[in-house]
Amino acid sequence: MYSIFHADKPDKRGRLRSRSLFIIGLGIVGFLLAGCAGQPSPLDPKGPDARQTANLWWLMFAVAAVVFIVVTVLLLIAIIRARRAQAEVNPYPQDRRALVLVIIGGAVIPAVVLIVLMSLSVMTERAGASPAGGRGTVEVIGHDWWWEVRYPDQKVVTANEVHIPVGEPMLVKVTSGDVIHSFWIPQLHGKIDVIPGQTNTIWLQADQPGTYRGECAEYCGTQHAKMDFVVVAESPADFRAWLNQQSQPAPVPQDEMVREGQQAFLGSSCVYCHAIAGTNASGTIGPDLTHLASRSTLGAGAIPNTRGNLAGWIVNSQAIKPGNKMPPMYLDSDQLQALLAYLETLK
Protein backbone atom coordinates (compact mmCIF):
# COMPACT_ATOMS: atom_id res chain seq x y z
CA MET A 1 0.00 0.00 0.00
CA TYR A 2 1.20 3.49 -0.78
CA SER A 3 1.75 4.69 2.74
CA ILE A 4 0.74 8.06 4.04
CA PHE A 5 3.50 7.76 6.59
CA HIS A 6 6.23 7.64 3.99
CA ALA A 7 6.21 10.84 2.07
CA ASP A 8 7.29 9.17 -1.21
CA LYS A 9 5.56 10.95 -4.06
CA PRO A 10 4.15 8.84 -6.89
CA ASP A 11 6.13 9.27 -10.08
CA LYS A 12 4.73 11.06 -13.11
CA ARG A 13 3.50 7.84 -14.74
CA GLY A 14 1.70 6.84 -11.57
CA ARG A 15 -0.01 10.22 -11.43
CA LEU A 16 -1.03 9.95 -15.08
CA ARG A 17 -2.38 6.44 -14.48
CA SER A 18 -4.50 7.48 -11.52
CA ARG A 19 -5.77 10.50 -13.45
CA SER A 20 -6.84 8.29 -16.39
CA LEU A 21 -8.50 5.86 -13.98
CA PHE A 22 -10.40 8.77 -12.42
CA ILE A 23 -11.58 9.99 -15.85
CA ILE A 24 -12.63 6.47 -16.91
CA GLY A 25 -14.49 6.08 -13.60
CA LEU A 26 -16.32 9.38 -14.18
CA GLY A 27 -17.19 8.22 -17.70
CA ILE A 28 -18.67 4.95 -16.43
CA VAL A 29 -20.74 6.70 -13.74
CA GLY A 30 -21.98 9.23 -16.32
CA PHE A 31 -22.89 6.43 -18.73
CA LEU A 32 -24.82 4.52 -16.05
CA LEU A 33 -26.66 7.65 -14.88
CA ALA A 34 -27.59 8.45 -18.50
CA GLY A 35 -29.56 5.18 -18.43
CA CYS A 36 -31.79 6.70 -15.74
CA ALA A 37 -32.87 9.60 -17.97
CA GLY A 38 -36.55 9.44 -18.88
CA GLN A 39 -37.27 6.71 -16.32
CA PRO A 40 -39.85 7.39 -13.64
CA SER A 41 -37.97 8.22 -10.45
CA PRO A 42 -38.97 7.50 -6.85
CA LEU A 43 -37.42 10.93 -6.12
CA ASP A 44 -40.17 12.56 -8.22
CA PRO A 45 -43.11 11.29 -6.12
CA LYS A 46 -46.71 11.79 -7.20
CA GLY A 47 -48.53 10.09 -4.33
CA PRO A 48 -48.45 10.01 -0.50
CA ASP A 49 -46.58 6.71 -0.12
CA ALA A 50 -43.90 7.57 -2.66
CA ARG A 51 -43.54 11.01 -1.04
CA GLN A 52 -42.84 9.47 2.38
CA THR A 53 -40.26 7.18 0.80
CA ALA A 54 -38.62 10.11 -1.00
CA ASN A 55 -38.54 12.17 2.23
CA LEU A 56 -36.90 9.26 4.05
CA TRP A 57 -34.39 8.92 1.19
CA TRP A 58 -33.42 12.60 1.42
CA LEU A 59 -33.10 12.39 5.22
CA MET A 60 -30.84 9.33 4.90
CA PHE A 61 -28.84 11.09 2.19
CA ALA A 62 -28.37 14.16 4.42
CA VAL A 63 -27.30 12.06 7.42
CA ALA A 64 -24.90 10.04 5.25
CA ALA A 65 -23.46 13.27 3.79
CA VAL A 66 -22.86 14.72 7.28
CA VAL A 67 -21.23 11.47 8.47
CA PHE A 68 -19.06 11.39 5.35
CA ILE A 69 -17.89 14.98 5.85
CA VAL A 70 -17.19 14.53 9.59
CA VAL A 71 -15.26 11.27 9.01
CA THR A 72 -13.28 12.78 6.13
CA VAL A 73 -12.31 15.84 8.21
CA LEU A 74 -11.25 13.62 11.14
CA LEU A 75 -9.24 11.44 8.79
CA LEU A 76 -7.45 14.47 7.32
CA ILE A 77 -6.68 15.78 10.79
CA ALA A 78 -5.28 12.35 11.72
CA ILE A 79 -3.11 12.26 8.58
CA ILE A 80 -1.73 15.76 9.14
CA ARG A 81 -1.04 15.06 12.79
CA ALA A 82 0.61 11.74 11.98
CA ARG A 83 2.90 13.42 9.47
CA ARG A 84 3.86 16.09 11.98
CA ALA A 85 4.48 13.47 14.61
CA GLN A 86 6.59 11.26 12.37
CA ALA A 87 9.71 12.10 14.28
CA GLU A 88 8.23 11.13 17.61
CA VAL A 89 8.72 7.60 18.86
CA ASN A 90 5.04 7.06 19.73
CA PRO A 91 2.57 9.54 18.28
CA TYR A 92 -0.33 7.84 20.07
CA PRO A 93 0.39 7.82 23.79
CA GLN A 94 -2.03 5.77 25.89
CA ASP A 95 -4.66 8.28 26.69
CA ARG A 96 -7.96 7.73 28.49
CA ARG A 97 -9.48 10.66 26.66
CA ALA A 98 -8.68 9.05 23.30
CA LEU A 99 -10.34 5.81 24.39
CA VAL A 100 -13.51 7.66 25.45
CA LEU A 101 -13.55 9.49 22.10
CA VAL A 102 -13.23 6.21 20.22
CA ILE A 103 -16.10 4.66 22.15
CA ILE A 104 -18.37 7.68 21.67
CA GLY A 105 -17.46 8.30 18.02
CA GLY A 106 -17.11 4.67 16.99
CA ALA A 107 -19.95 2.99 18.87
CA VAL A 108 -22.41 5.31 20.64
CA ILE A 109 -23.05 7.87 17.88
CA PRO A 110 -23.31 5.26 15.07
CA ALA A 111 -25.67 3.16 17.21
CA VAL A 112 -27.95 6.16 17.89
CA VAL A 113 -27.94 7.27 14.23
CA LEU A 114 -28.67 3.75 12.95
CA ILE A 115 -31.45 3.09 15.48
CA VAL A 116 -33.15 6.41 14.64
CA LEU A 117 -32.90 5.79 10.87
CA MET A 118 -34.14 2.21 11.21
CA SER A 119 -37.13 3.32 13.32
CA LEU A 120 -38.03 5.98 10.74
CA SER A 121 -37.67 3.41 7.98
CA VAL A 122 -40.00 0.94 9.74
CA MET A 123 -42.50 3.73 10.51
CA THR A 124 -42.50 4.82 6.85
CA GLU A 125 -43.13 1.28 5.71
CA ARG A 126 -45.97 0.76 8.21
CA ALA A 127 -47.60 4.08 7.31
CA GLY A 128 -47.74 2.95 3.68
CA ALA A 129 -49.29 -0.41 4.61
CA SER A 130 -52.06 0.77 6.93
CA PRO A 131 -55.59 1.27 5.61
CA ALA A 132 -56.32 4.89 4.86
CA GLY A 133 -60.04 4.58 4.24
CA GLY A 134 -60.12 3.84 0.53
CA ARG A 135 -63.25 2.74 -1.26
CA GLY A 136 -62.32 0.48 -4.13
CA THR A 137 -60.44 -2.75 -4.47
CA VAL A 138 -58.34 -3.93 -7.38
CA GLU A 139 -56.72 -7.35 -7.66
CA VAL A 140 -53.47 -7.72 -9.56
CA ILE A 141 -52.15 -11.13 -10.54
CA GLY A 142 -48.63 -11.44 -11.92
CA HIS A 143 -48.02 -13.89 -14.76
CA ASP A 144 -44.98 -14.68 -16.91
CA TRP A 145 -44.88 -11.93 -18.31
CA TRP A 146 -47.93 -9.74 -17.95
CA TRP A 147 -50.32 -8.43 -15.31
CA GLU A 148 -53.93 -9.53 -14.91
CA VAL A 149 -56.01 -6.75 -13.37
CA ARG A 150 -59.42 -7.37 -11.80
CA TYR A 151 -62.02 -5.13 -10.20
CA PRO A 152 -64.05 -7.76 -8.30
CA ASP A 153 -66.94 -5.47 -7.32
CA GLN A 154 -67.59 -4.45 -10.93
CA LYS A 155 -66.56 -7.81 -12.45
CA VAL A 156 -64.04 -6.05 -14.66
CA VAL A 157 -61.04 -7.96 -16.00
CA THR A 158 -58.27 -6.27 -17.95
CA ALA A 159 -54.51 -6.46 -18.34
CA ASN A 160 -51.43 -4.34 -17.84
CA GLU A 161 -53.45 -1.24 -16.89
CA VAL A 162 -54.56 -0.26 -13.41
CA HIS A 163 -56.99 2.65 -13.30
CA ILE A 164 -57.46 4.58 -10.06
CA PRO A 165 -59.37 7.70 -9.07
CA VAL A 166 -57.16 10.71 -8.24
CA GLY A 167 -56.93 11.56 -4.55
CA GLU A 168 -58.61 8.37 -3.31
CA PRO A 169 -56.60 5.51 -1.83
CA MET A 170 -57.32 2.26 -3.65
CA LEU A 171 -56.72 -1.11 -2.02
CA VAL A 172 -54.51 -3.22 -4.29
CA LYS A 173 -54.28 -6.95 -3.58
CA VAL A 174 -51.42 -8.64 -5.37
CA THR A 175 -50.64 -12.28 -5.91
CA SER A 176 -48.96 -14.43 -8.54
CA GLY A 177 -50.16 -17.13 -10.90
CA ASP A 178 -46.71 -18.65 -11.33
CA VAL A 179 -43.37 -17.37 -10.00
CA ILE A 180 -42.38 -14.48 -7.74
CA HIS A 181 -42.70 -11.02 -9.31
CA SER A 182 -42.59 -7.56 -7.77
CA PHE A 183 -45.16 -4.82 -8.36
CA TRP A 184 -43.57 -1.38 -8.50
CA ILE A 185 -44.76 2.07 -9.55
CA PRO A 186 -41.72 4.26 -8.70
CA GLN A 187 -43.63 7.55 -8.56
CA LEU A 188 -46.56 6.21 -6.54
CA HIS A 189 -45.52 3.35 -4.28
CA GLY A 190 -42.60 1.23 -3.12
CA LYS A 191 -42.10 -2.31 -4.39
CA ILE A 192 -44.38 -5.07 -3.16
CA ASP A 193 -43.59 -8.75 -3.58
CA VAL A 194 -45.97 -10.74 -5.77
CA ILE A 195 -45.89 -14.27 -4.39
CA PRO A 196 -47.84 -17.36 -5.51
CA GLY A 197 -50.21 -18.59 -2.81
CA GLN A 198 -50.05 -15.36 -0.85
CA THR A 199 -51.90 -12.05 -1.12
CA ASN A 200 -50.04 -8.85 -0.28
CA THR A 201 -51.84 -5.52 -0.08
CA ILE A 202 -50.94 -1.88 -0.59
CA TRP A 203 -52.83 1.38 -0.69
CA LEU A 204 -52.29 3.12 -3.97
CA GLN A 205 -53.00 6.81 -4.36
CA ALA A 206 -52.03 9.48 -6.88
CA ASP A 207 -52.32 13.21 -6.25
CA GLN A 208 -52.58 14.30 -9.88
CA PRO A 209 -54.17 12.82 -12.98
CA GLY A 210 -51.66 11.11 -15.20
CA THR A 211 -50.24 7.87 -16.50
CA TYR A 212 -47.58 6.38 -14.28
CA ARG A 213 -45.30 3.64 -15.48
CA GLY A 214 -44.98 0.50 -13.41
CA GLU A 215 -42.75 -2.49 -13.85
CA CYS A 216 -41.88 -5.89 -12.51
CA ALA A 217 -39.00 -5.43 -10.08
CA GLU A 218 -38.08 -9.06 -9.39
CA TYR A 219 -36.32 -11.18 -11.97
CA CYS A 220 -38.91 -13.70 -13.17
CA GLY A 221 -37.52 -15.18 -16.39
CA THR A 222 -36.54 -14.31 -19.95
CA GLN A 223 -38.98 -11.44 -20.44
CA HIS A 224 -38.77 -9.91 -16.96
CA ALA A 225 -37.71 -6.65 -18.63
CA LYS A 226 -40.89 -6.64 -20.74
CA MET A 227 -43.34 -6.91 -17.89
CA ASP A 228 -44.51 -3.32 -17.68
CA PHE A 229 -47.85 -1.83 -16.85
CA VAL A 230 -49.34 1.60 -16.38
CA VAL A 231 -51.35 3.14 -13.59
CA VAL A 232 -53.86 5.60 -15.04
CA ALA A 233 -55.01 8.10 -12.43
CA GLU A 234 -58.10 10.01 -13.52
CA SER A 235 -60.84 12.11 -11.97
CA PRO A 236 -63.31 10.04 -9.91
CA ALA A 237 -66.01 10.67 -12.56
CA ASP A 238 -63.75 9.52 -15.42
CA PHE A 239 -62.67 6.51 -13.34
CA ARG A 240 -66.26 5.41 -12.76
CA ALA A 241 -67.07 5.94 -16.42
CA TRP A 242 -64.08 3.76 -17.34
CA LEU A 243 -65.16 1.04 -14.89
CA ASN A 244 -68.69 1.12 -16.27
CA GLN A 245 -67.46 0.88 -19.86
CA GLN A 246 -65.05 -1.97 -19.01
CA SER A 247 -67.83 -3.93 -17.30
CA GLN A 248 -69.82 -4.12 -20.57
CA PRO A 249 -69.53 -7.26 -22.70
CA ALA A 250 -67.96 -6.99 -26.15
CA PRO A 251 -70.26 -5.45 -28.80
CA VAL A 252 -72.05 -7.75 -31.24
CA PRO A 253 -70.42 -7.51 -34.73
CA GLN A 254 -72.31 -5.05 -36.92
CA ASP A 255 -70.80 -5.66 -40.35
CA GLU A 256 -69.76 -8.62 -42.46
CA MET A 257 -66.00 -8.26 -42.10
CA VAL A 258 -66.18 -7.90 -38.32
CA ARG A 259 -68.46 -10.95 -38.19
CA GLU A 260 -65.93 -12.94 -40.22
CA GLY A 261 -63.21 -11.77 -37.87
CA GLN A 262 -65.18 -12.93 -34.86
CA GLN A 263 -65.69 -16.33 -36.51
CA ALA A 264 -61.96 -16.55 -37.24
CA PHE A 265 -61.30 -15.83 -33.57
CA LEU A 266 -63.88 -18.21 -32.14
CA GLY A 267 -62.98 -20.94 -34.62
CA SER A 268 -59.27 -20.90 -33.88
CA SER A 269 -57.01 -21.80 -30.98
CA CYS A 270 -57.29 -18.17 -29.67
CA VAL A 271 -60.18 -19.29 -27.44
CA TYR A 272 -58.05 -21.75 -25.47
CA CYS A 273 -56.08 -18.88 -23.94
CA HIS A 274 -58.19 -15.71 -24.24
CA ALA A 275 -61.61 -14.66 -23.01
CA ILE A 276 -63.98 -12.18 -24.63
CA ALA A 277 -67.07 -11.44 -22.51
CA GLY A 278 -70.27 -11.96 -24.48
CA THR A 279 -68.78 -14.82 -26.55
CA ASN A 280 -67.86 -18.45 -25.88
CA ALA A 281 -64.18 -17.55 -25.59
CA SER A 282 -63.25 -18.03 -21.94
CA GLY A 283 -59.57 -19.00 -21.84
CA THR A 284 -57.59 -17.78 -18.86
CA ILE A 285 -53.97 -18.42 -19.88
CA GLY A 286 -53.57 -15.11 -21.70
CA PRO A 287 -55.03 -11.64 -21.12
CA ASP A 288 -58.79 -11.05 -21.33
CA LEU A 289 -59.44 -9.35 -24.69
CA THR A 290 -62.95 -7.97 -24.07
CA HIS A 291 -61.61 -4.39 -24.22
CA LEU A 292 -58.29 -4.98 -25.93
CA ALA A 293 -58.65 -1.94 -28.20
CA SER A 294 -58.91 0.39 -25.19
CA ARG A 295 -55.44 -0.55 -23.96
CA SER A 296 -52.33 1.40 -24.87
CA THR A 297 -49.81 -1.41 -25.34
CA LEU A 298 -49.48 -5.02 -26.40
CA GLY A 299 -47.38 -7.65 -24.65
CA ALA A 300 -47.24 -5.77 -21.30
CA GLY A 301 -45.61 -2.63 -22.62
CA ALA A 302 -43.61 -4.42 -25.33
CA ILE A 303 -45.11 -2.40 -28.23
CA PRO A 304 -47.76 0.31 -28.69
CA ASN A 305 -51.22 -1.03 -29.48
CA THR A 306 -51.56 -0.10 -33.16
CA ARG A 307 -53.15 -2.07 -36.02
CA GLY A 308 -49.77 -2.90 -37.56
CA ASN A 309 -48.27 -3.99 -34.26
CA LEU A 310 -51.33 -6.07 -33.45
CA ALA A 311 -51.01 -7.85 -36.80
CA GLY A 312 -47.34 -8.56 -36.11
CA TRP A 313 -48.15 -9.77 -32.61
CA ILE A 314 -50.86 -12.18 -33.86
CA VAL A 315 -48.73 -13.58 -36.70
CA ASN A 316 -45.55 -14.04 -34.69
CA SER A 317 -45.36 -12.57 -31.20
CA GLN A 318 -42.25 -14.68 -30.59
CA ALA A 319 -40.28 -12.28 -32.76
CA ILE A 320 -41.37 -9.38 -30.55
CA LYS A 321 -41.24 -11.01 -27.11
CA PRO A 322 -39.41 -14.35 -27.37
CA GLY A 323 -40.50 -16.97 -24.86
CA ASN A 324 -44.01 -15.63 -24.25
CA LYS A 325 -46.77 -18.23 -24.22
CA MET A 326 -48.53 -17.15 -27.45
CA PRO A 327 -47.76 -19.41 -30.41
CA PRO A 328 -47.53 -18.04 -33.99
CA MET A 329 -50.92 -17.97 -35.77
CA TYR A 330 -51.15 -19.20 -39.35
CA LEU A 331 -53.81 -17.08 -41.04
CA ASP A 332 -54.26 -16.03 -44.64
CA SER A 333 -54.31 -12.33 -45.35
CA ASP A 334 -58.14 -12.05 -45.56
CA GLN A 335 -58.57 -13.85 -42.25
CA LEU A 336 -55.97 -11.62 -40.62
CA GLN A 337 -57.63 -8.43 -41.90
CA ALA A 338 -61.03 -9.65 -40.68
CA LEU A 339 -59.58 -10.63 -37.30
CA LEU A 340 -57.95 -7.20 -36.94
CA ALA A 341 -61.23 -5.50 -37.86
CA TYR A 342 -62.98 -7.54 -35.14
CA LEU A 343 -60.34 -6.92 -32.46
CA GLU A 344 -60.47 -3.18 -33.19
CA THR A 345 -64.15 -3.13 -32.18
CA LEU A 346 -63.23 -4.39 -28.69
CA LYS A 347 -62.99 -0.93 -27.20
> How far apart, in whole angstroms, are the C-alpha atoms of residue 215 and residue 301?
9
- The residue (of 55 and 222) whose beta carbon lies closer to ligand CUA is 222
Closest CA to 340 of 33, 331, 131: 331
Q: Which stretch binds ligand CUA (CB under 6 A): 123-131, 217-225, 244-252, 319-327?
A: 217-225
Q: Which stretch binds ligand CUA (CB under 6 A): 76-84, 121-129, 212-220, 326-334?
A: 212-220
Establish if 149 lies at the interface with ligand CUA (CB under 6 A).
Answer: no
| Residues sharing a CB contact under 8 Å with residue 175, sequence separation 6 or more, in sequence order | 139, 140, 141, 142, 194, 195, 196, 197, 198, 199, 200
Interface with ligand CUA (CB under 6 A), residue from 216, 233, 258, 302? 216
Residues 7 to 46 in contact with ligand CUA, rule: CB under 6 A: none
- The residue (of 142 and 190) whose beta carbon lies closer to ligand CUA is 142
- The residue (of 48 and 214) whose beta carbon lies closer to ligand CUA is 214
Q: Give the 3-state secondary structure of residue 202.
A: strand
Residue 219 beta carbon to ligand CUA: minimum distance, rounded to whole angstroms: 6
Interface with ligand CUA (CB under 6 A), residue from 5, 22, 58, 219? 219
Q: Which stretch binds ligand CUA (CB under 6 A): 80-88, 152-160, 162-170, 214-222?
A: 214-222
Q: Which stretch binds ligand CUA (CB under 6 A): 52-60, 218-226, 292-300, 329-337?
A: 218-226
- Residue 340, number of CB atoms within 10 A of its CB: 18
Q: What are phi and psi of 324, to 5 degrees?
A: -70, 165
> How far apart, in whole angstroms, are the C-alpha atoms of residue 223 and residue 146?
9
For CA atoms 336, 338, 339, 340, give the dihedral sign. Answer: positive
Residues 170 to 209 in contact with ligand CUA, rule: CB under 6 A: 181
Closest CA to 251 of 167, 346, 174, 166: 346
Kindly list the residues in this chain that would bind ligand CUA in the complex (CB under 6 A).
Answer: 142, 145, 181, 216, 218-220, 224, 227
